[in-house]
A and B are shown apart, each in its own frame.
Chain A
Amino acid sequence: MVSVILIFIGAFLFPGIVSITKSKLAGRKGISLLQPWYDFFKLIKKGMIISNTTSIIFQVATVINSAVLFVVMFFIPFSYFQPGIIHFEGDFLLFIYLLALGKFFLIISALDTGSSFEGMGANREALYSLLVEPAFFMIIGTLVLISGNLSFSELFQQLDLNFSSGLLFTVLSIYILLQFILIEGSRLPIDDPKTHLELTMIHEVMVLDNSGIDLAFIELGNALKFSIFSALIANIILAFIPVSYFYAIVVFVITQIILAVIIGVLESFRARLKLIYNSQFILTISSISVVLFLMMLLLKNSF
């Protein structure tokens, strides 16, 4: 339960911290930390406009995506102290495919609108998700290899990264998961959440037809997704540097804040990649994760 609360705190802070970091680095005053949440409640109060061309898929897609993200949160354990609320052998496979289910519904809801722009965005989102998925599988595969368990909770309970190459795994897995967050969260250098040109949009163009409460929950979903993957990073850090229960909570929250600041800094100084280079960039992340997995196989003499 602690992990769920911490994930909510992370999701609560994430949009505000990213925005404040970007504003400060650009020399602007910036918004308040709570502004994204004022916007959230404002959107909830607003009515929804649903296009006549859409079917039931468009109406249920956001609900399914949000439900999936809320369920996925329960899989995340609080380091080695508390298992996730839902845990069983092989639960990480359900975790990954539930996320894929949510994305699938968002993609087909974009196609359901009949808009060529949204179809184009859905196409790109599907491609990038396809290319980045092996990276996540490889990271989880490496964790399974090190700990010898098939459940998220047991995996982090028995994950000991205090061996000679533990630092190698920790640093590279954090790098890969950070890139994964940027790609899955549709942020720079793959996608620019602030862009207003439909032709270059990826995620934003998919949700152009969503309004009101649907849009509010899509925004909340993005923040939750960031927080869920940040929680995984925090769990890996805690496996590398074991601390007491209280300090583990502090590490969990600080990791989420630092990652949000890093994303803000990256978005301030990094240019967006040309669309033709996106695929190869994502594939490079997946390739690095394959190399990491193979290297760990060799180091563990499991080949």
Chain B
Amino acid sequence: MEAIFILLFAVSIFYFSISVNVRNYITLLGIQGVLLFLIAVLGLKDINTMHLIFIALETLLFKGILIPGYLLNIAKKNKVTNIKNFKTRRKMKGFYLIIIATLVYIGTIFLGDYLKNSFLDVKIFSAALTAVLMGLIFIVINKNITIHIISFIVIENGVFLLALAVGNEMPMMINTAILLDLFVSVLVLGVFFNKLTYHFKDDTTDILSNLKD
């Protein structure tokens, strides 16, 4: 059963590659949050009630509901639900991104098999590493700041899954660090985005290229 959710998580990364709408990105983010909860609950063997509540709060509540809801609210408020002039904002076509995502996934499976560690779950490891690497690629090829923060959360989801791949339990320290990262990134984005749009009408990083000494 756990394999179904891992596979759906991997598939969600492919849909990230072809999405051109901020709303789709945010929906996929919410789906990933729910999938992470299900993978964690089914995958973790040594888990106590306190830990389970913490994971449920982190994945289901924050990653699945609150953060996507908050991001959608910001996107709506700043009218960035559709990526205007998509071609100029993304440096790579979805077609090539899909090929890259597939190759990355195949590569990570080979890497997991090459490592041949009895503690390593190759199914989770490959999906997690694909999420981390594709998150980085999404950040590099997109100029939209909202997509940057969404890609950052995809990387965080990958890190969360990676922590699950290497053992039967998940250290509380990793959980707390991921949650802190999420708070900082999303809240900072929310606060600064609202303030920045008073001065800049655009949400791309293009304006940064005009910075001079």
Contacts and interface: CB of A to CB of B under 8 A. Distances in A.
A287 to B, nearest CB: 4
Contacts, number: 65
Interface stretch (B1-9, B60-68, B137-145): B1-9
Given A290-B102, A298-B123, A284 B3 contact: no
B95 A167 contact: no
B178 interface: no
Most buried by B among A277, A284, A290, A299: A284
Contact of B4 (A165, A283, A288, A298): A165
A108 to B, nearest CB: 26
Main secondary structure of the interface of A (DSSP, over half): helix
A280 B94 contact: yes
Nearest to A291: B10
Nearest to B121: A298
Contacts of A164: 1, 3
Contacts of A291: 7, 10-11, 14, 102, 105
Contact of A279 (B3, B15, B95, B126): B95
Nearest to A287: B102
A295 interface: yes
Indicate the member of A172, A290, A291 with the most B CB atoms within 10 Å.
A291
B4 A168 contact: yes
Contacts of A283: 95, 98-99
A84 to B, nearest CB: 30
Contact of A165 (B3, B20, B101): B3
B55 interface: no
Contacts of A167: 1, 4
Contact of B109 (A279, A299, A303): A303
B106 interface: yes
Interface of B: 1, 3-4, 6-7, 10-11, 14-15, 17-18, 20, 93-95, 97-99, 101-102, 105-106, 109, 113, 122-123, 126
5 contacts: A165-B1, A277-B20, A280-B93, A280-B95, A291-B102
